[in-house]
Amino acid sequence: MATAVPPIISPKEDLPPPLTSASEPPPLFDGTTRLYLAYHCPYAQRAWIARNCKGLQDKIKVVAIDLADRPAWYKEKVYPENKVPALEHNNQVKGESLDLVKYIDSNFDGPALLPDDSAKKQFAEELLAFSDGFNSAFFSCLRSKGDVSDEAAAAVDKIEAALGKFSDGPFFLGQFSLVDMAYVPFIERFQIFYSGIKKDDLAKGRPNLHKFIEEVNKVDAYTQTKLDPQFLLDQMKEKFGVRYFLVSRCRFVLFSNPDKSLHAILTFQIA
């Protein structure tokens, strides 16, 4: 049975529920172009935004995968890497989110996702190369139980500086581009995490980032992929926070209560 579609801020299309291990595969390699994604995955969100920005909702079909209960046929018949996103197109399947954004831009009609300006193209490549470092800082911050790390603060400061390079718009290359698609899913989650867990404001003292966040939330191609912030926050707490609190609390009880049966129960809970 398919699971429900998570709460999306401004859906513009009838999105399918995620497929699970009990779901039958679609009619694979029948000429339909399919974007396999998970609605909550920031990497998949990159390709999803690109698809929307190009106006390809009728040409690239969304197929959602439940990452917690993946269908076996996805790895066996579609994408051996067993990750999302993946794109089924012309009887081939391609993966890796940044590669897919570029592929969608180059192989489908619609607005170009990069400007013609050579300086902007060069800066785009520099920013795309840095994106893994930014994401690493983000995940490191998620795992930290203390204040925002120096690594994370430095990464966000670099983004602030990059957003000020061009003056013809609020985005990385001035106008909305595939660079913004690469970063905005992680900036979105970073902002939610800063506010909801670290009790800090990501954009405080960073006017370029503040303007970026304000303006990107006016871009339909992006807002159509946004999930409810509380849903994402609960996910992050569950994955990176709640488990820590449970383990800490259980250890305290274990040390203060020598009852062996209780020890066995609690050990099972935190395993």
Query: What are 98-131's pLDDT values in tens digits?
Result: 999 999 999 999 999 999 999 999 999 999 999 9
244 has a pLDDT exceeding 70: no
More confident: 85 or 140: 85
As a whole number of angstroms, the distance between CA 63 and CA 34 comes to: 6
Confidence of residue 144 (pLDDT cuts 50, 70, 90): low
Confidence of residue 174 (pLDDT cuts 50, 70, 90): very high
Mean pLDDT in residue range 241-258 = 35
Q: Structure pTM? A: 0.85
More confident: 76 or 234: 76
Residues of the chain above pLDDT 90, percent: 65
According to the model, what pLDDT value does residue 234 have?
85
242 has a pLDDT exceeding 80: no
According to the model, what pLDDT value does residue 261 have?
38
Mean pLDDT in residue range 38-58 = 97
According to the model, what pLDDT value does residue 146 have?
62
More confident: 171 or 244: 171
As a whole number of angstroms, the distance between CA 31 and CA 59 comes to: 11
Q: What pLDDT digit, counting tens, does each position of 185-216 carry?
A: 999 988 888 777 767 788 889 999 999 999 99
According to the model, what pLDDT value does residue 2 have?
67
Closest CA to 166 of 201, 104, 113, 122: 122
According to the model, what pLDDT value does residue 111 have?
96
Domains, the chain: 34-107 (3.40.30.10), 118-240 (1.20.1050.10)
According to the model, what pLDDT value does residue 249 have?
30
According to the model, what pLDDT value does residue 251 have?
31
Chain-wide mean pLDDT for the chain?
A: 85
Instruction: Output the 3-class SS for the chain.
Output: CCCCCCCECCCCCCCCCCECCCCCCCCCCCCCCEEEECCCCHHHHHHHHHHHHCCCCCCCEEEEECHHHCCHHHHHHHCCCCCCCEEEECCEEEECHHHHHHHHHHHCCCCCCCCCCHHHHHHHHHHHHHHHHHHHHHHHHHHCCCCCCHHHHHHHHHHHHHCCCCCCCCECEEECCHHHHHHHHHHHHHHHHHHHCCCCCCCCCCHHHHHHHHHHCCCHHHHCCCECHHHHHHHHHHHHHHHHHHHHHHHHHHHHCCCHHHHHHHHHHHC
